[in-house]
Structure 1
Amino acid sequence: MSLFSDNIRALRTKDKISQERLAQSLQITRGRYVKYEDGTSEAPYDILKKIAHYFHISIDLLLSVDVRKIDIQDLLKLENNRLILPIQVDQAGENFIEVVTQKVKAGYLNGYADPEYIENLQQISLPFLGPGKHRGFPIEGDSMPPHEDGSIIIGRYVENLGEVQDGKTYILITKSEGMVYKRLNKNKKNALVLESDNSFYPNYEVKVSDILEIWEYECNIGRSDKKYETNDIESFKSMFLELKKDIHAIKSST
């Protein structure tokens, strides 16, 4: 028996659907379906996709999470049958915000679709936020001033790429880059251009197919009250370029 077998049996039983009826909806024979449910055969991708759509649940959950332990009704359903979960509220009815701390940041890429991972994240509530699903992410480095290393960016989940607005900042979860916070521009057909507010860092592109999640900036939680000087970055950049010139001149003269 596999987790997938247990899941489809549990979902079918919960909805009081016969094996025959489910098999007909999947356009396969009952005998073929039974093999998936008793674990003697693995469902190919096309059938797996049909089952996921039939029960309105993501393939990630079907394969990796025991759905008997979660309340399907409390999951946030998104386009393409994806889910961000769970949706929990405080006593005032405000959505809790899961916070991805530095300690668990490395595991987010593997756990973003795992309800048990999400449930174990620290939670906060910010009543001034508007509608939508929000989550907090730590940032590193100095590429996006005035936000400093260790700050938490609270983002609102973006359901589709059409919502992304040029020039606004977003947290991106990508297969290759992991978690990044940048200013986005959609001036490429199948890619986004990521820009740092610190001009010291060059722009770069991320393919749309590489993107797992996009979260639009809503607010920042930080501890520093340092006054940000706009000239600091340009001064540092100029000093660095002068240093490179000096090093090049020394090498040329030897």
Structure 2
Amino acid sequence: MPFTVATWNINSVRLREPIVLKLLAEEAPDVLCLQECKSPVDKIPLEGFRALGYGHVVARGQKGYNGVAILSKLPIADVGEMDFAGLGHARHVAARLENGVTIHNFYVPAGGDVPDRMVNEKFGQKLDYLTEMRDWFHGDAPEKSILVGDLNIAPREDDVWNHKQLLKIVSHTPIEVEHLGQAQEAGRWVDVTRADIPQGLLYSWWSYRARDWDAADKGRRLDHIWATPDISNAAHGSRILRAARGWEKPSDHAPVFASFDL
């Protein structure tokens, strides 16, 4: 059963419903995972999504913050969520396809502005969240699984516009990269995007602060698609829809896609 998965930090699903509908109509992924929905589940505007064939939804939400949702053309079963670091945030949800593949949708904490947990509680929460992800994967080794989401870390030197300038900037600091790497290694996750696109600068996020984000091109690859080794060889067609960053009232993130022949 070939299928395509997309992941997108939408930065308010209600505010940006028009561009979610645009993506679904024009790109038609089988499964779309959204982060930072900023909506209780009962307020997510599902009617338009259903009209385009996305009748299956698994979501966790909260008013004004966080929130993750999985929209699917294919039948999916809700298989729960994890509250890493005990934050009480809607940052993870999982769903299972009928072919047995589990999709994990994550929104890792951004971590604030100062990369020092002694003066910035949010940075400590981010590191703790990643540590508990690592421990969970160690204790319950994932199989036949896909992990997607805004992981809020650009791990490689070519995942940021300037490696040296960003070494002390939250999302690319060595300690964050190390923590994310440990979580990835614990689950033996394969970075599908970089398996498909192994070389070159690659970004999925551009700051709202840039007057002309496209020309400045000071991006970071914060959004990821991973797969367990038993299905990673079935992945192909990875891409980032950069054009979506320039749509009307855009998110500061662009959607990331991968297809799987399973």
TM-score range, shorter chain: under 0.3
Instruction: Return the structure number with greater helix share.
Output: 1
TM-score of the pair, normalised by structure 1: 0.22
Q: Which has the larger radius of gyration?
A: 1
TM-score, scaled to structure 2:
0.22
Greater relative contact order structure (CA < 8 Å, 6+ sep): 2
